[in-house]
Amino acid sequence: MTHSRIEEELHDTAHIDYDHVAIQWNPSVAQLYEDALKYESGSAISSTGALVTASGNKTGRSPKDKRIVDEPGSTKDIWWGPVNTKLPEHVFLINRERAVDYLNTRKRIYVFDGYAGWDPKYRIKVRVVSARAYHSLFMRNMLIRPTEEELENYGTPDFTIYNAGAFPANRYTSGMTSTTSVAINFHMNEMVILGTEYAGEMKKGIFTVMHYYMPIKHNVLSLHSSANEGADGDVSIFFGLSGTGKTTLSADPKRFLIGDDEHCWSEDSIFNIEGGCYAKCINLSAEKEPEIFNAIRFGSVLENVVYDPQTRVVNYDDAALTENTRCAYPIEYIPNAKIPCISSGHPKNIILLTCDAYGVLPPVSKLSSAQAMYHFISGYTAKIAGTEDGVTEPEATFSACFGQPFLVLHPYRYAKMLAEKMEQHSANAWLVNTGWNGGAYGIGERIKLKYSRAIIDAIHSGELAQAEYENYEIFNLQIPKTCSEVPSEILHPAKTWKGSQESYVSTRNLLAQRFIENFKLYQDQTTLEVVNAGPILS
């Protein structure tokens, strides 16, 4: 593969005018730094050597502006609805033309060719065409970087992103609801971005693509999860929404990190989709998360952070620009990362994390196969909602498969594959609550991190698999009677409840009802066994 070949390909496939636009193909990190500092306002070098960037008006994803093209080859498989909104192909072509027109007005554009998926048997070749050095460096970190030999023999990409995020969509175009458009076309194998410069759209766009390609084309399960591996080759998968402790509990110094966010489970192994990590930076400190803190160095991309203009020291506690401050860095910046990011074997433990602010879910419970499917489809956690007079109350949040915004197929299809793989490889499933105990938020106490770590350690050691269990009524969960380094009384929520028995029962039943109501969204395409594996109110 040569630079002139890239120019010709882009001209043939997208009419990129390389006579007027300088195409920077897989430039070095140093080159991208220089261009960002020279041509992109808001760019700087932090005191630790990371590239500080600004994503403009959008500092987070725009899920309401995501569209998937409705075309004959994929329409029957896609879970159409609030997550996946249909877009006619001719509208996609209008937006594509608009994006190319914008890219052709630039003096220079950036092309990065990389891979999604560490297993060569399943990986896809991804090309990212963008107008900003920031976006190219971001995807250089998040995709798997090819060797020189791989780049020479790269060939035609399997999927291409055209990122013209600084240019708006025409909101009067059919199917558009704003000036932002993030559109995926499985027929053309392309993604077009208009009206948002938030780099996370590209990362999650490729994840969405893998959520379609892997199950449909390869019968490989794609998962929104972290994964690690012990010294003996035992693998664990962690699911959990924001605030559940997924990153903290999977970053175990005694275990190797396979990845922190996106994985696939094939017939051979677990493998990471990404070549990097995209970590939250708000309130980051060297004491709390040393691995992430120390990964912010030359080559890393810091997004929307506040820094001292003289010293360039970043203030990670400052949320003046956004709460969603982020850093993208290559996974090899994490000391105990397993490179290549492929497991030695199949998972022994599937850990579903939740932060229950109602205080009625046990700190740990063992799940049957049907229960694992139910709680995987539910994807429950709770947010703490503040009111004006200072009173706070828990708010149940459900995200199917712990990653609903990125699903392409119906959640049951992923859950069924998960259950089949669990059964095939004799994996245990666990529901671990890192939230409240002894009462709801404001009355009870957050379960201590050392207890959650002890529970994870007991899962990994095999202790909990051999424990004696008791049934937790209504939810019908199996609770261990003892766990090393954890007070036995906190293992059953009723035993530490600080209020009346009536308040305990009503709170427990309230959460059970929330689960039941939420699951009605999925039960028409789910078996009765899985429906009945959830809470049952008589």
Q: Please give the domain boundaries of the chain with CATH numbers for all domains.
A: 5-220+276-333 (3.40.449.10), 223-265+346-533 (3.90.228.20)
Span between the terminal Cα atoms of the chain, in Å: 66
Provide mean pLDDT across the span 405-432: 97
C-alpha distances in angstroms, 134 versus 112, 198, 335?
Answer: 12, 10, 25
pLDDT in tens, 110-154: 999 999 999 999 999 999 999 999 999 999 999 999 999 999 999
Q: Report d(CA 379, CA 397) in Å as an integer.
A: 8
Residue with the larger pLDDT of the pair 253 and 238: 238
Q: What is the DSSP letter of 233?
A: S
CB 342 within 8 A of CB 320: no
Q: What is the DSSP letter of 65?
A: G
Q: What is the pLDDT of residue 391?
A: 32
Provide mean pLDDT across the span 402-417: 97
Task: Using a cut of 0.75, tell me whether the model's pTM lies above it.
Answer: yes
Tell me the two tokens of residue 344: 């030695």
Q: What is the pLDDT of residue 154?
A: 96
Provide mean pLDDT across the span 231-251: 91
| Nearest of 31, 301, 11, 2 to residue 129 by alpha carbon | 11
Mean pLDDT over the full length of the chain: 95
Residues belonging to the active site: 61, 204, 224, 242, 246-247, 261, 326
Question: How does residue 189 score in pLDDT terms, banded at 50, 70 and 90?
Answer: very high
Q: What percent of the chain has pLDDT over 70?
A: 98
Tell me the two tokens of residue 91: 């509208």
> Helices 369-378 and 411-424 sit at what angle, rounded to 10 degrees?
150
Of the ranges 107-116, 322-331, 387-396, which one carries the lowest mean pLDDT score? 387-396
Question: How does residue 186 score in pLDDT terms, banded at 50, 70 and 90?
Answer: very high
pLDDT in tens, 278-324: 999 999 999 988 999 999 999 999 999 999 999 999 999 999 999 99
Separation of CA 291 from chain center: 19
C-alpha distances in angstroms, 473 versus 116, 305, 361, 504, 509?
Answer: 44, 47, 11, 13, 10
Pairing, β 380-386 against β 392-398 = antiparallel
Q: What is the pLDDT of residue 56?
A: 94
CB 73 within 8 A of CB 62: no
Instruction: Count CB neighbours of 200 within 10 A.
Output: 21
Q: Which neighbouring-strand residues pair with 340?
A: none
Q: What is the pLDDT of residue 1?
A: 64
Q: For residue 474, give every residue at least 6 positions away whose Cβ sits within 8 Å of its Cβ, in sequence order, or none.
A: 508, 509, 512, 535, 536, 537
Q: What is the pLDDT of residue 393?
A: 64
pLDDT in tens, 428-443: 999 999 999 999 988 9
Sheet strands (E) in 38-152? 44-45, 51-53, 66-69, 85-87, 108-116, 124-130
Residue 392 has pLDDT above 80, yes or no: no
Residue 384 has pLDDT above 70, yes or no: no
Residue 383 has pLDDT above 90, yes or no: no
Tell me the two tokens of residue 365: 């419970």
Q: Report d(CA 460, CA 206) in Å as an integer.
A: 31
Q: Report d(CA 445, CA 449) in Å as an integer.
A: 12
Question: How does residue 509 score in pLDDT terms, banded at 50, 70 and 90?
Answer: very high
Provide mean pLDDT across the span 260-285: 96
Question: How does residue 538 score in pLDDT terms, banded at 50, 70 and 90?
Answer: confident
Q: For residue 402, give every residue at least 6 positions away whose Cβ sits within 8 Å of its Cβ, in sequence order, or none.
A: 224, 225, 239, 240, 241, 352, 376, 379
Residue 386 has pLDDT above 70, yes or no: no
Half-sphere exposure of 207 (CA within 13 A, CB side): 22
